[in-house]
A and B are shown apart, each in its own frame.
Chain A
């Protein structure tokens, strides 16, 4: 089975300094990732790990330095103008902050209908009917399409953003931190809604998140990123139950306990993520690694290798 979305050795390097004479920033440094139709693949990692750069490349908002991103077996960055319109319909996005992602001067109807107006030639009436249906799907009332974004709460705005992503019947939605700007009592509503929509309509999600419990709830597959590379990837239950990479273990142990009696051995990492401007030699994680095993970590960069049902890039798991 070919994947719906397939990234192969995808990389994006930025130049810095005057006329690009400064050091390279390897924001994304050769990433392989597959998203199957109808599944949720979560990418987790801390700031600067390259997850947003990856989302921008997939959405064709930026071009890769090397490697390829294919949607439906077609190179996203080599689409014809006509194909690109199809692509825009098939791949949609929902962003973190529903205060920033909705145009405050546009009525909900026009925001939600935008993808339809841009990619189809439906009549006004047909568009209104589709907008009404999309709003009902996200549990808003169709008559609310005449309102402006400021008339809605944060949770409702995120529903509007989801409706505008849904309306073109996409096959993949990029969810970039879809609940982290919302209040606690609203998060559960939106997470349930996303799960229901996927069950009913079968689209795939690429979820970008930093909250592990959110990821655990929504994801089928998980990839953990560190400094522009995937350090561990596998089925969600496998990665959470038996994390193999020391960074994944530290991330999971740093995830806050769900009650005070949860017995979690905290692994407190030394220091912070190094800047992508000066990625350490060898394994990029070695200066902070609690399982450092010797000079091989300082000199050789580990490749992703199978370990159980996961793949992990760590010398502990080599051979």
Chain B
């Protein structure tokens, strides 16, 4: 395991009281694997990503329990200084909007070189050569010329490649990708996903891919973890998640996505809406929307049970 997370909880204190956007989350990531983290807004998927980087908004949010083991090291025990040397070198992140990840008044080259210098200082000319190589590796045409460009001179797809070059500049073991293709056009998204797969095949990078889009999951991920209201409701191999989901929420969500090959009739929509974290129902958070819920579901939070090899669900009435 290159990354192992156990019983991670994050708490936020706000006007509405204390909420738990991440609640007792456990998972692990193998070398060379892509784990899809799927959920809707407020499910805690982005908070989980930020917690792994130890970049939670301070001082509002804090990690209240759990362990994060990255390449054998407990990073929650690290000082801020130690953590700074881990970020970018062992674990990196790309976010949805490349516009906000890049400094608008710095040239692309300077930003890539800065990232390189941080973890492997060296003479400027050598760093420059490596920066050009990195940009070429990420599929940026005419990288020497692009070094002098400002972010606004590049398209969204090219900007996301630059962000990718910075994130991968120190050959991290783990990449957290938080909706990196959501802001891109369809054909550009396809290019970027292909690039991630090629890089993974070449380097054995492990990717935690945070998304709400089952299409991206189907194309890219080996395993999937589904979150709802801060909790992991199901984990399993990608084929099982689509063909035999165990949790009623996963099943309803997969069914409600329109498909190119089934155009007619109505979509099986999930009634209601995701609960607010400050007024979670007692028992299972999905119970009010669940077609299978019985009295017990409304009273007591369900345990996580193994439903098939490599597949588990937090549900009183999982479909085996």
Alpha-carbon gap, A189 to B269, bound state (A): 5
- Of residues 256 through 312 on chain B, the ones whose CB sits less than 8 Å from some CB of chain A are 256-261, 263, 266-271, 273-274
Q: Which residue of B lies closest to A219 (CB)?
A: B263
* Residues of chain A with a CB closer than 8 A to B261's CB: 258
Q: Which one, A156, A183, A185, A258, contacts B215 given CB within 8 A?
A: A258
**B 215-233 to A, binary, CB cutoff 8 A, 1 in contact else 0:** 1101100000000000000
B189 at the interface (CB under 8 A from A): yes
A3 at the interface (CB under 8 A from B): no
**A 140-169 to B, binary, CB cutoff 8 A, 1 in contact else 0:** 000000000000011110000000000000
Interface size class of A (residues with CB under 8 A): 35 or more
B253 at the interface (CB under 8 A from A): yes
A188: min CB distance to chain B, Å: 4
- Of residues 257 through 277 on chain A, the ones whose CB sits less than 8 Å from some CB of chain B are 257-262, 266, 268-269, 271-273
The number of inter-chain residue pairs (CB within 8 angstroms) is 127
* Residues of chain A with a CB closer than 8 A to B256's CB: 184-185, 187-188
A240 at the interface (CB under 8 A from B): yes
- In the complex, the answer to whether A256 meets B215 with C-beta atoms within 8 Å is yes
A37 at the interface (CB under 8 A from B): no
Q: Which residue of A lies closest to B243 (CB)?
A: A259
- In the complex, the answer to whether B257 meets A213 with C-beta atoms within 8 Å is yes
Alpha-carbon gap, A250 to B186, bound state (A): 9
- In the complex, the answer to whether A261 meets B239 with C-beta atoms within 8 Å is yes
- In the complex, the answer to whether A260 meets B218 with C-beta atoms within 8 Å is yes
- In the complex, the answer to whether B218 meets A257 with C-beta atoms within 8 Å is yes
- Of residues 149 through 205 on chain A, the ones whose CB sits less than 8 Å from some CB of chain B are 153-156, 183-189, 191-192, 195
A216 at the interface (CB under 8 A from B): yes
Contact A259 B218, CB 8 Å, known A216-B260, A266-B190: yes
Q: Which residue of B lies closest to A195 (CB)?
A: B266
- In the complex, the answer to whether B187 meets A185 with C-beta atoms within 8 Å is no
* Residues of chain A with a CB closer than 8 A to B6's CB: none
B58 at the interface (CB under 8 A from A): no
Alpha-carbon gap, A262 to B253, bound state (A): 18
* Residues of chain A with a CB closer than 8 A to B189's CB: 254
B212 at the interface (CB under 8 A from A): yes
* Residues of chain A with a CB closer than 8 A to B213's CB: 184, 256
- In the complex, the answer to whether A192 meets B218 with C-beta atoms within 8 Å is no
A317: min CB distance to chain B, Å: 21
Most chain A beta-carbon neighbours within 10 Å: one of B40, B141, B186, B216: B186
Contact A183 B274, CB 8 Å, known A188-B268, A210-B185, A260-B239: yes
**A 214-246 to B, binary, CB cutoff 8 A, 1 in contact else 0:** 101100000000000000000011001000000
- In the complex, the answer to whether B186 meets A260 with C-beta atoms within 8 Å is no
- In the complex, the answer to whether A185 meets B258 with C-beta atoms within 8 Å is no
B310: min CB distance to chain A, Å: 15
Contact A258 B239, CB 8 Å, known A153-B273, A192-B269, A212-B186: no
B252 at the interface (CB under 8 A from A): yes
- In the complex, the answer to whether A262 meets B218 with C-beta atoms within 8 Å is yes
* Residues of chain A with a CB closer than 8 A to B41's CB: 154, 183
Alpha-carbon gap, A186 to B257, bound state (A): 10
* Residues of chain B with a CB closer than 8 A to A251's CB: 186-187
- In the complex, the answer to whether B260 meets A258 with C-beta atoms within 8 Å is yes
Most chain B beta-carbon neighbours within 10 Å: one of A184, A191, A236, A266: A184
- In the complex, the answer to whether A185 meets B252 with C-beta atoms within 8 Å is yes
* Residues of chain A with a CB closer than 8 A to B175's CB: none
A46 at the interface (CB under 8 A from B): yes
Q: Which residue of A lies closest to B183 (CB)?
A: A47
A162: min CB distance to chain B, Å: 15
A144: min CB distance to chain B, Å: 14
Contact A237 B263, CB 8 Å, known A46-B185, A184-B253, A256-B216: yes
Alpha-carbon gap, A260 to B239, bound state (A): 6
**B 60-91 to A, binary, CB cutoff 8 A, 1 in contact else 0:** 00000000000000000000000000000000
- In the complex, the answer to whether B194 meets A266 with C-beta atoms within 8 Å is yes
Contact A184 B40, CB 8 Å, known A46-B187, A251-B187, A268-B190: yes
A255 at the interface (CB under 8 A from B): yes
* Residues of chain B with a CB closer than 8 A to A255's CB: 186, 215, 260
Contact A185 B270, CB 8 Å, known A254-B187, A256-B213, A258-B214: yes
- Of residues 53 through 91 on chain A, the ones whose CB sits less than 8 Å from some CB of chain B are none
* Residues of chain B with a CB closer than 8 A to A268's CB: 187, 190-191, 194
Alpha-carbon gap, A256 to B221, bound state (A): 13
* Residues of chain A with a CB closer than 8 A to B187's CB: 46, 250-251, 254, 268-269, 272
Residues of B within 8 A of A (CB): 40-41, 141, 155-158, 185-191, 194, 212-216, 218-219, 238-239, 242-243, 252-253, 256-261, 263, 266-271, 273-274
For this complex, 8 residue pairs linking A to B, each with C-beta atoms less than 8 Å apart, are A184-B253, A185-B256, A186-B273, A187-B258, A191-B267, A258-B260, A260-B219, A268-B194
Closest 8 CB pairs of A and B: A256-B215, A188-B269, A254-B190, A46-B185, A188-B256, A188-B267, A258-B259, A259-B242
Query: Known contacts A185-B273, A269-B190; can you find 18 more A-B pairs with CB under 8 A?
Result: A154-B41, A156-B273, A183-B40, A183-B212, A187-B258, A188-B270, A189-B271, A191-B267, A192-B266, A213-B215, A213-B257, A216-B259, A217-B263, A237-B263, A240-B260, A257-B218, A259-B242, A266-B190
